[in-house]
Amino acid sequence: MLFGSKVAKHERLITIVAALTKTPGQTQSELARLMGVHPSTIEDDLRKLEEEGILVQEDDRGRLSLWNE
């Protein structure tokens, strides 16, 4: 496949949620290094998570955490 499989993307989404649950405050670059992908891939994944109803907030320093109401 040209851009990877849906299974790989799904696993990456699960890994992002798990990583931010375990260690809030990571940046997109840190998550990208963790998963071996480009930071723009993480940005796309964060949009997909939002579409699925999992909101990630970013502070003014670019640190990410799961949105808690």
Higher pLDDT, 8 or 60: 60
Is the predicted pLDDT of residue 7 greater than 60, yes or no?
A: yes
Domain range enclosing 41: 6-59
What span, in angstroms and rounded, lies between the C-alpha atoms of 66 and 18?
10
Q: Are 32 and 24 in contact (CB under 8 A)?
A: no
Q: What is the pLDDT of residues 15-57, one digit of tens each?
A: 999 999 999 999 999 999 999 999 999 999 999 999 999 999 9
Residue position matching structure tokens 């840190």: 30
Query: Could you tell me the pTM of the whole model?
Result: 0.86
Confidence of residue 4 (pLDDT cuts 50, 70, 90): low
- Residue among 61, 25, 37, 59 nearest 13 (CA): 37
Residue with more model confidence, 6 or 13? 13
Tell me, what's the pLDDT at 69?
55
Domain count, the chain: 1
In a domain, 69, yes or no: no
**Contact yes or no for 42/64 (Cβ under 8 A):** no
Classify residue 64: in a domain, yes or no: no
Residue 15 lies in a domain: yes
Whether 34 is in a domain gets the answer: yes
